[in-house]
Amino acid sequence: MKQLSAKVAAIAPSATIEITNKAKKMQREGIDVISLSIGEPDFDTPKHITDACIGALKKGETHYAPSNGIPELLAAISEKIAKENKFACEPDQVIVTCGAKDAIYEGMEAVLNPGDEVILPTPAWVSYEPCVQMAGGKTVFHPVNQKTFQLDDSILEKVNAKTKMISINSPSNPSGAVFDKKSMKLVADLCEDHDLYAMSDEIYEKLIYGKEHISLASLGDMAQRTITVNGFSKAYAMTGWRLGYAVAPKPIIKAMSRVQQHSVSQATTFAMWGAVAALRGDQKCVESMRSEFDRRRKFMVAELGKMGYTCAPADGAFYAFVKVTGDDNKIATDWLEKGHVAATPGSSFYAPGWIRLSYAASMERLHEAMERIKKVGGK
Ligand SMILES: Cc1ncc(COP(=O)(O)O)c(C=O)c1O
């Protein structure tokens, strides 16, 4: 038989999904595994959102919709962006995608030519590099300062004639760090000085604890060169709905639309009606989930501190990023096999020596997880 695609063979499987699968296998075997390895809110989608979706289904919203999204959702997103993210956005600068992940994939396909380089500050979430790779580009990793988790001038050393884009994610998965104004300004200046595009994944913007979220596109002329990625999975507990979106200059949206038209066609029609309710409805549900995450975050960081671990600044998202001195893969394997706690080694995020623990689990399970980690140990 002829060889399958070399391009796809070169792409690593998603480490977070692999570990979760291993944990699920242990669970199926009857082992009580506490799964802190995946980035998924443990809350149900708020009722007014599911009701809107059910209402749409009952009304017969089960047909094809415009590929970029239903006009009602495009309008709701563009209003949200102008109001909250503070940059101008017309509805035709928006594309609704099958999750933020799909927006990242389409965005990379739209911008990159073979050999183009994308600077990726690390630690970084697992899917950016594969999306760059699928689009024929090359990822250039740039480790951030591992104390402050902010950017500094050293990132300039990564820029060369092949650099096409910088891809950032604040609040960050996996570190929980939030880029401050200085880091954001540095990215904006870099893009303006070297004529680069930017991708700014802001999916955790609502899950932030005492810090200010700054949208990259709100700085200088960045709206002309930025793909802002966002979605409904994290803020509204809608992971399974597979709904995300991108906001970008019109030529980029047009190019992304081509990819979308010939791949997934569109996001699910009735699901988009749920998203309209999410954006237009009462935002109290977001705040109540955020404050519960905040309570868990404080607990986790304090408990880990008592055990002698330090964490990256847990200012956003729902992850404690824990510094370990031994081999992170081995320690995470011990935690899973001996302690039955699933965590993700930092190596999966290009940051060996760290382990990511999600605190998107009930307080009771987090208490139990801390006890188990204490028993297994491993620093
Ligand atoms: C930083 C980041 N971006 C994007 C995504 C993808 O989210 P979605 O469920 O909208 O595809 C995730 C999910 O884990 C994430 O952590």
User: What does the mean pLDDT of the chain come to?
Assistant: 96
Q: Domain end: 245, 280, 315, which one?
A: 280
Q: Can you give the CATH number for the domain in which 35 is found?
A: 3.90.1150.10
- The whole-number pLDDT of residue 21 equals 83
Task: Please write the tens of the pLDDT for every residue from 197-236.
Answer: 999 999 999 999 999 999 999 999 999 999 999 999 999 9
Spatial distance between the Cα atoms of 40 and 37, rounded to a whole number of angstroms = 9
Indicate the SS3 state at residue 358.
Answer: strand
DSSP 8-state code for residue 157 = G
Most ligand 1 atoms within 8 A of CB, residue of 14, 45, 101 to mutate: 101
- The whole-number pLDDT of residue 53 equals 98
| Same domain assignment for residues 193 and 178 | yes
Mean pLDDT over 164-193 rounds to: 98
Q: Are strands 138-143 and 117-122 parallel, antiparallel or unpaired?
A: parallel
| Same domain assignment for residues 32 and 19 | yes
| Same domain assignment for residues 325 and 240 | no
Q: Does the pLDDT at position 190 exceed 70?
A: yes
- The whole-number pLDDT of residue 13 equals 75
Q: Which pLDDT band holds residue 63 (cuts at 50, 70, 90)?
A: very high
Q: Which pLDDT band holds residue 300 (cuts at 50, 70, 90)?
A: very high
Task: Please write the tens of the pLDDT for every residue from 220-229.
Answer: 999 999 999 9
Q: Which pLDDT band holds residue 19 (cuts at 50, 70, 90)?
A: confident
- The whole-number pLDDT of residue 183 equals 98
Q: What percent of the chain shows pLDDT beyond 90?
A: 93
- The whole-number pLDDT of residue 378 equals 62
> Residue holding tokens 């380089």?
117
Mean pLDDT over 14-18 rounds to: 71
* Full-model pTM: 0.96
> Residue holding tokens 């070169």?
10
Q: Which pLDDT band holds residue 20 (cuts at 50, 70, 90)?
A: confident
| Same domain assignment for residues 265 and 332 | no
Asked if residue 168 is part of any domain, the answer here is yes
| Same domain assignment for residues 346 and 297 | yes
| Same domain assignment for residues 213 and 288 | no
Instruction: Provide the H-helix boundaries in the chain.
Output: 6-9, 15-28, 47-58, 71-80, 100-111, 128-134, 181-194, 250-261, 269-280, 284-306, 328-337, 363-376
| Same domain assignment for residues 348 and 260 | no
Asked if residue 54 is part of any domain, the answer here is no
- The whole-number pLDDT of residue 377 equals 75
Mean pLDDT over 187-203 rounds to: 98
Residue nearest atom 1 in ligand 1 by C-alpha distance: 173
Residue nearest atom 13 in ligand 1 by C-alpha distance: 39
Spatial distance between the Cα atoms of 137 and 130, rounded to a whole number of angstroms = 9
Token pair for 152 = 């500094």
- The whole-number pLDDT of residue 87 equals 98
| Same domain assignment for residues 288 and 182 | no
| Same domain assignment for residues 18 and 162 | no
Residue nearest atom 16 in ligand 1 by C-alpha distance: 173
| Closest ligand 1 atom to 102 CA | 11
Task: Output the CA 244–ligand 1 centroid distance in Å.
Answer: 9
| Same domain assignment for residues 205 and 81 | yes
| Same domain assignment for residues 198 and 73 | yes
Most ligand 1 atoms within 8 A of CB, residue of 36, 96, 173 to mutate: 173
Task: Please write the tens of the pLDDT for every residue from 332-375.
Answer: 999 999 999 999 999 999 999 999 999 999 999 999 999 999 99
Spatial distance between the Cα atoms of 245 and 337, rounded to a whole number of angstroms = 38
Mean pLDDT over 159-163 rounds to: 98
Q: Are strands 354-358 and 34-35 parallel, antiparallel or unpaired?
A: unpaired
- The whole-number pLDDT of residue 39 equals 85
Count CA atoms within 13 Å of residue 209 on its CB side: 21
Residues with a CB atom less than 6 Å from ligand 1: 39, 99-101, 125, 169, 173, 201, 203, 231, 233, 239, 244
Residue ranges making up the domain that contains 129? 63-280
**Read out DSSP for 314-347?**
--BTTEEEEE-SS-HHHHHHHHHHTT-EE-EEGG
* Number of domains into which the chain is organized: 2
